[in-house]
Amino acid sequence: MQRFLIAPSILSADFARLGDDVQRVLDAGADVVHFDVMDNHYVPNLTFGPMICSALRNYGITAPIDVHLMVSPVDDLITQFADAGASYISFHPEACQHLDRSLQLIADKGCQPGLVFNPATPLHYLDYVMDKLHHILLMSVNPGFGGQSFIPGTLDKLREVRSRIDASGQNIRLEVDGGVKVDNIAAIAAAGADMFVAGSAIFNQPDYAAVIQQMRDELATVSSK
């Protein structure tokens, strides 16, 4: 399994040329397409739905699409995104009605289930569902907008989640999202993350390949666990 995955958030992509821009970032070396779904209810912003996901698939995007649902309720959109070609689907535990049922729904639809934690969401939601998780997404900003600054306290929370994953013996990806840049990605990896969402740090640069390579160079400095 590839140790570190880079997942550009298309929230910062060029929406007028989305297919081309997503293909460009994949050609530049990205591993996964991160897809931020906001409903102007759970979060104070509105983005895109399953039609855009299926449009990317129809355009020819074959990389994994990592759908982060910032919506409430969640089940209907889980079904719609799975049918639209999502690969991974995560949601916020406090935004759903029946945590175990929603995780099972993702798996039953053939996708990889994940749970998302905001900076101040307690981790007890993990207590009875570790065996159902493909990934845990730790927000390092409050959700809703790209281009915010990484909240430093997230590093301690990452270490805590990494300990829980290691203690569980499960093979669960630890993803981090918000304010990830070339100059902090090594510290984030050292705290236990192995999947990195970056929106503005990649899409706001003219040369996507250069910034992704800089991130990989930084990650290469992080010693093995």
Binding residues for a divalent metal cation: 34, 36, 68, 177
The residue (of 110 and 152) whose beta carbon lies closer to ligand 5SP is: 152
Least separation in angstroms between CB 138 and ligand 5SP: 11
How far apart are alpha carbons 191 and 187 in whole angstroms? 6
- Return the amino acid letter for 11: L
Which residues carry a binding-site annotation? 9, 34, 36, 68, 144-147, 177-179, 199-200
Smallest gap from Cβ 8 to ligand 5SP, in A, equals: 8
Tell me whether residue 103 or residue 182 sits nearer to ligand 5SP (CB atom): 182
In this structure, the dihedral spanned by the alpha carbons of residues 58, 146, 171 and 189, taken in order and rounded to 10 degrees, is 130
Which ranges of the chain would DSSP assign to H, the alpha helix? Answer: 18-27, 50-59, 75-83, 99-108, 154-168, 185-190, 200-203, 208-220
* Active-site residue list: 36, 177
In 3D space, the residue among 82, 191, 184 whose CA is nearest the CA of residue 138 turns out to be: 191
Q: Residue numbers of the site for ligand 5SP (CB under 6 A)?
A: 9, 11-12, 34, 36, 68, 141, 143-148, 177-180, 197-201
Q: Closest approach of Cβ 191 to ligand 5SP, in Å? A: 17
Q: Is the dihedral of CA 96, 136, 12, 190 positive or negative?
A: positive
Nearer to ligand 5SP, 101 or 119 (CB): 119
β-strand partners of 7? 197
Rounded to the nearest 10 degrees, how much is the dihedral formed by the CA atoms of 11, 17, 7, 211? -100
Least distance (Å) from ligand 5SP to the CB of residue 150?
Answer: 8
The answer to whether 28 and 62 have CB atoms below 8 angstroms apart is no
Look up residue 71 and give its amino acid. V
| Residues in binding site for substrate | 9, 68, 144-147, 177-179, 199-200
Query: For ligand 5SP, which is the closer residue by CB, 41 or 98?
Result: 41
